[in-house]
A and B are shown apart, each in its own frame.
Chain A
């Protein structure tokens, strides 16, 4: 099958290290096949940079199939690029026109310091999870399947929330750099299920406290997080998180 190619101008944020000043550098991406992914396009550009003896553009990636949450950059003002519900690694170059200029920036938030170029440190998310994103399980024999009944609508809400891959696009998209959508998804996936109930009250208070401690902003209901989320996590989760928080204020642990 004949494959089309496009050529692009890239303006890429280059920053040698966390405490180094960063700036945009302009590169040409010539004859890029339209069926390669965005990350493969960066691989091609990096091959060229290495041949010229230049430092390649650093970016995070792992599975390259849209499920690990490692990749992500802001392309022309959109985290993960222009295609809805798609991670950067699953974005194909056919989404762009020949001759286009792409401004590629890291996810920006004070709580996500730049490590290098497009790589940011998202360990703030890990610390939010550590604060309460787990359930207590008795050791011993594996329980029987379906021993605990779960209503279908609650199971669906939990599974929808559990789609979150923790990529940080919600924070990147939010005008307040709020981590509310991430934190909400991680709270709701447990709050909806009986397995999550023993820690239900403590979890929401502890995880929100951890979220605040990391220096993320608050939720002003701009809905930008939802528009950027590659897994289509809904703002409804923030409604449910707030409900959980109010519940924690009136319920004994």
Chain B
């Protein structure tokens, strides 16, 4: 046994990378929950929603600090998970002729890389759609009047193709999140066997709940713009 504890060894370990992936995932999820809660103000109309957006913008340096934390978490999350994925693929060089899944485990787990890639592409689209959008430009105008970011969001989702793309992406978010919800407790070493198994059973339902929450926004916009005419 090595006599001295070595941080170099710890930092290179797969356990620390799993931990990094989990904790950065948790940070991203906390952001997403805040983001979802804020976006629900859309249902209250342009004043509530635009007021919320303006208050966020007025935070100035605090907003940039939050963005830095989110960006750092995203970079750590992607680099830890991709390096683990490559390692895990290399750890079996000859594939089985017959593969079958015998464990009763959450649906999110084997699909993480796919839902992860969908989410990464979606984030780019999402930032260019809304964060970088001209909030007073032609895309904000509904009924001849600029409704700010509220108008940009509603006009954006009036295009059913974009609405469908968003709905697919947020279901990927839900499924991706369900894996975190089931696996986090093992990675952090915090919960008992019984509690961990309870979390596993709940994971898919929690993921579906998150996906439904996000689906509500494009569906709301689509109904308002297409059926009620803005």
Contact = CB atoms under 8 A, between A and B. Distances in A.
A245 B91 contact: no
A228 B189 contact: no
A92 interface: no
Q: Which of A177, A211, A241 has the most B CB atoms < 10 Å from its CB? A: A177
Contact of A224 (B101, B183, B186, B192): B101
B215 interface: no
B97 A205 contact: no
Interface in B175-221: 179, 182-183, 185-193, 196
A77 B98 CA distance: 5
B102 A177 contact: no
Contact of B100 (A78, A176, A239, A248): A78
A105 interface: yes
Contact of A110 (B90, B97, B110): B90
B79 interface: no
A77 B100 contact: yes
A110 B84 CA distance: 15
A203 B17 CA distance: 19
Interface stretch (A31-39, A42-50, A215-223): A215-223
Contacts of A176: 88, 91-92
B17 to A, nearest CB: 7
A196 to B, nearest CB: 12
A203 B188 CA distance: 19
- Which of B88, B185, B186 is packed against the most chain A CB atoms within 10 Å? B186
Nearest to A247: B189
Contacts of B3: 202
A239 B185 contact: yes
Interface string A184-207: 000000000000000101110110
Given A223-B104, A248-B5, 4 more contacts: A77-B100, A108-B92, A176-B91, A245-B15
30 contacts: A13-B97, A74-B96, A76-B100, A103-B98, A108-B92, A109-B91, A109-B92, A176-B92, A177-B88, A177-B92, A178-B88, A199-B1, A202-B1, A205-B2, A208-B14, A211-B14, A215-B90, A218-B14, A218-B84, A220-B109, A220-B112, A222-B101, A239-B189, A239-B190, A239-B196, A240-B189, A242-B15, A242-B18, A242-B186, A246-B188
Interface of B: 1-6, 9-10, 12-19, 84, 87-88, 90-105, 109-110, 112, 179, 182-183, 185-193, 196
What 10 pairs across the A-B complex have the smallest Cβ distances? A243-B189, A77-B100, A176-B88, A242-B189, A217-B88, A223-B103, A217-B91, A218-B14, A221-B183, A236-B193
